[in-house]
Amino acid sequence: MIITRPKLIDLARREAEARAAGGDVISAYLVGSVAYGEPLLGGTADIDLILIHAEDPPAAREMVPLSAEIHLDIVHHPRRLYAQPRGLRVDPWLGAAISGPVFLYDPQHFFEWAQAGARGQFFRADHVLARARALLASARARLPHPAPDHPVLDTLMDAALDGANAAASLAGIPAAGRRLLLDIERRAQALGRPEVADGLMRLFGIERGDSRSVPAWLGAWARAHDDACPLTTDPRLAACRRAYHLSGYQALIEAGRPEAVVIPLLRIWDRTLSVLETSAQAEDHRVAWDEARRRLGLDPSSLPTRLLELETYLDAIETLIDGWAARNGA
């Protein structure tokens, strides 16, 4: 099958209609790479489908494989999440998601009503500023206070990404997924502030164009995933996600952007090791993970220094946001 964006949208629409026929789905829409026109990376894609339920759904998220290359990444929302559409104008994630989705199913016009309320004045400067400051506040809230001698890597990664996205949201929607770094670079360029992306790379110990270790890290993660997948119900570690990550990251390496792989790979690798540790099966995979962290300067002995650098980075992001607010009358 030749994979095209219209085919992916049609697959999502069929799924939404089938779920509505057999349950309480009242609206459905697409976000992510399919909605924004860049669905494929390395010949693979996930279809980010949001289903809105009349009542609380039984699960928050699930993966549904459609082929070896394509799967549905379904997020379930209760109707009450959209009860105050105007408040979504300042929600940096949900507000951004419904600002430009692909409509799939909405017979009662519920989502149309919610989107109209959220999109009204969505790009007004004070609303943009509120979303940026919300992300910056989230980044600062993740930091340990007072700073410990042994900060936790996943907390620092999340804080760094919230900080970068605080700046990126001034020029578009927050970045996520396999193209995370590339999208942050685009937003930073639009702002005329390349230091947003450059600073993020430094926090993760990334050198531009350095591909020496990335392929080996991909292989180590894949082996860890194979062992972790049967041990967890976490949809992010579902079997269909293996090819999605590997093929996409290999495409970035072949395109001459191996550094763009590091951040999303570290996040899924860290999550994979956590599952293995819970089941006391991480020992065989720990050596490669520890070596990668050491190579990037993210090993336990280096994290206190990175924490200080992160705080400096967030201060710079705050100054950038304040300057944008002053120039735009927000």
pLDDT at residue 196, as a whole number: 98
Are 168 and 189 contacting, i.e. CB atoms less than 8 angstroms apart?
no
pLDDT at residue 115, as a whole number: 93
Run means of pLDDT, 10 residues per run, the chain, 330 residues: 90 97 95 91 96 95 97 98 94 92 96 91 94 98 84 94 98 95 97 97 86 91 97 97 97 95 97 95 95 95 95 98 95
Tell me the pTM.
0.94
pLDDT at residue 38, as a whole number: 86
Burial class (CB in 10 A: 0-12, 13-18, 19+), 92: buried
Topology of 5-119 in CATH? Beta Polymerase; domain 2 (3.30.460)
> Whole-angstrom Cα distance, residue 248 to residue 237?
16
Burial class (CB in 10 A: 0-12, 13-18, 19+), 320: buried
Q: Which residue has the tokens 């293996």?
A: 242
pLDDT at residue 87, as a whole number: 92
pLDDT at residue 1, as a whole number: 63
pLDDT at residue 213, as a whole number: 92
pLDDT at residue 181, as a whole number: 97
pLDDT single digits (tens) 148-173: 877 899 999 999 999 999 999 999 99
Query: For the chain, which residues make up each domain, given as ranges?
Result: 5-119, 125-205+301-328, 214-296
